[in-house]
Amino acid sequence: MHLMSKARIIGFAIIVSLAVQSVRAEDWKPEWTGPHPGWLTYKTNSLTFFYAPDSVLAKDGAIQMFAGKRVDAYNDIVKSLKVTDKRTVKFFVYDNNEVAQQLIHQKAGFAQSTVAIIHTRVNQTVGHELTHVLSRAINGRPPPNRVLDEGLGVWMDHNPVDHLAEGRRLLEANELPTASKMIEMLSTGDESCYPAAGAYVGYLLTKYGGDKFKQIWGAGKSSYGEQFKKAYGKSQSDMDTEWRTFLKSYASTTAVKASDPAATCDLLDPAQLQYQKLTVNRVSSGESLTNGTYRYQANDKFSKMVLYLQPMDLSKAVELRFELQCDASCGAVDTILRDHDNLVSDVIKVEKHITENKDGYQVVRIPMNAFKTRDWDMKSVKILFIGGQKPKGAGGPSFNIRAIEAGFPK
């Protein structure tokens, strides 16, 4: 799918907010480029995967599904970027960061682009680190700043996320940094602007195309401003103003993506999972019914119901599951899951995540790797917001939610 292509997002979205600590280690060099001792190997034409024999990927069909998603992403990224990379990309896949810490002494979730190696977790995004590796074929060099690098990784992470809508949300919350500010933030290791960078790069690509983007990608650090103006015919400051004007009127029902959201879901067989209930201690802007069901009634004052959870460690969870019953369309419902400490939000279309109907409820199963995050070390999740996107005086649809659970590998 080309960079200029667009996909429609139809309402129902989920926003997950959590503490994020991304690890980028371009300069970190392992002493080996093969598997850890005793690890299994799975090969495709362009990708090789290494994983532990007791990994969840060793279960029937799991590695084939995991690899298939990455092969699709690989093909889409090289087509979108119009690049050729003859190297075999090696994935070292860890079930969680605890395993990674034991073996490589740091968290997984980074790419070594120069040697085409990716250290990833099972539930990490499909395309982000792969984009870092393949984008090195653009003009044969890395970009002049991390806004372009990380922004492209976010934009092409192959999650069913409307990154432009996320940019608009940040703008409305007065939390959207300028492009120059993002360059400064990322140069000091502050990666909280990843969502904004994704929205910025996404705008450049959808508005002006890939050729101009490649021109600024190949610029040197000292000549970046000059090359930017040469490519786009305007300064970075003027582009920033134009970007913000666009986001103000951007319709959240339209998203620009580099992949089909339906192809991004890595769900394990429920028989391979052990589900744990998320216990609700208190409800605000809603009501608690019987048998663990919670009710939100549309109104003009509140747009979301707040469920205060018993703190729970979701760092090893691979799936979020709940059941939803709407009075009318669920098209405007969204949720936010957070841990009190940080609010780095992702917008995810979940229509494709409805797996079945059960007693009048829709069963929603969302794989953790569908979320655009840098780290899934969610040690203390405490709050779940769920409600309607509030359009001009309306409070969204009324609904019931029940059976809120997290799935863990057995």
Instruction: From 212, 239, 261, give the residue that closes a domain.
Output: 261
Does 387 fall in a domain?
yes
Q: What is residue 331's DSSP assignment?
A: T
Q: Examine the domain organization and report whether 385 and 331 are in the same domain.
A: yes
Q: Are the C-beta atoms of residues 51 and 63 closer than 8 Å to each other?
A: yes
Q: Examine the domain organization and report whether 313 and 390 are in the same domain.
A: yes
Q: Examine the domain organization and report whether 74 and 132 are in the same domain.
A: yes
> 134 φ, ψ to 5°?
-70, -30
Instruction: From 261, 276, 292, give the residue that closes a domain.
Output: 261
Q: Look at residue 128 in the predicted model and tell me its pLDDT.
A: 94
Q: Examine the domain organization and report whether 122 and 165 are in the same domain.
A: yes
Q: List Cβ neighbours of 238 (8 Å cut-off, separation of 6 or more).
A: none
Does 183 fall in a domain?
yes
Does 271 fall in a domain?
yes
Does 55 fall in a domain?
yes
Q: Look at residue 203 in the predicted model and tell me its pLDDT.
A: 94
Angle at 381 between CA 270 and CA 391, to 5 degrees: 90
Does 159 fall in a domain?
yes
Q: Examine the domain organization and report whether 282 and 210 are in the same domain.
A: no
Does 2 fall in a domain?
no
Q: Examine the domain organization and report whether 271 and 254 are in the same domain.
A: no
Integer Cα distance of 259 and 254 in angstroms: 14
Q: List Cβ neighbours of 399 (8 Å cut-off, separation of 6 or more).
A: 295, 296, 324, 325, 326, 327, 330, 333
Q: Which residues form the domain of 212?
A: 7-11+20-261
Q: Examine the domain organization and report whether 281 and 243 are in the same domain.
A: no
> 406 φ, ψ to 5°?
-115, 135
Q: Please list the alpha-helical segments (H only) found in 108-209.
A: 128-134, 146-155, 163-172, 179-187, 194-208
Q: Examine the domain organization and report whether 252 and 349 are in the same domain.
A: no
Q: Examine the domain organization and report whether 211 and 311 are in the same domain.
A: no
Does 1 fall in a domain?
no
Instruction: From 218, 242, 261, give the residue that closes a domain.
Output: 261
Q: Examine the domain organization and report whether 396 and 301 are in the same domain.
A: yes
Does 227 fall in a domain?
yes
Integer Cα distance of 309 and 213 in angstroms: 44
Beta-strand relationship, 294-296 and 399-409: antiparallel
Q: What is the CATH number of the domain that holds 35?
A: 1.10.390
Domain count, the chain: 2
Q: Look at residue 181 in the predicted model and tell me its pLDDT.
A: 95
pLDDT, averaged per 10 consecutive residues of the chain (410 residues), comes to 36 33 41 74 96 91 90 92 93 91 90 93 89 92 93 88 84 92 92 92 93 93 94 96 92 38 52 87 83 80 72 79 77 58 50 76 79 50 62 62 88
Q: Are the C-beta atoms of residues 151 and 200 closer than 8 Å to each other?
A: yes
Q: What is the CATH number of the domain that holds 307?
A: 2.60.120.260
Q: Examine the domain organization and report whether 139 and 288 are in the same domain.
A: no
Across-strand partners of 326?
A: 399
Q: Examine the domain organization and report whether 300 and 318 are in the same domain.
A: yes
Q: Is the dihedral of CA 183, 258, 229, 84 positive or negative?
A: positive
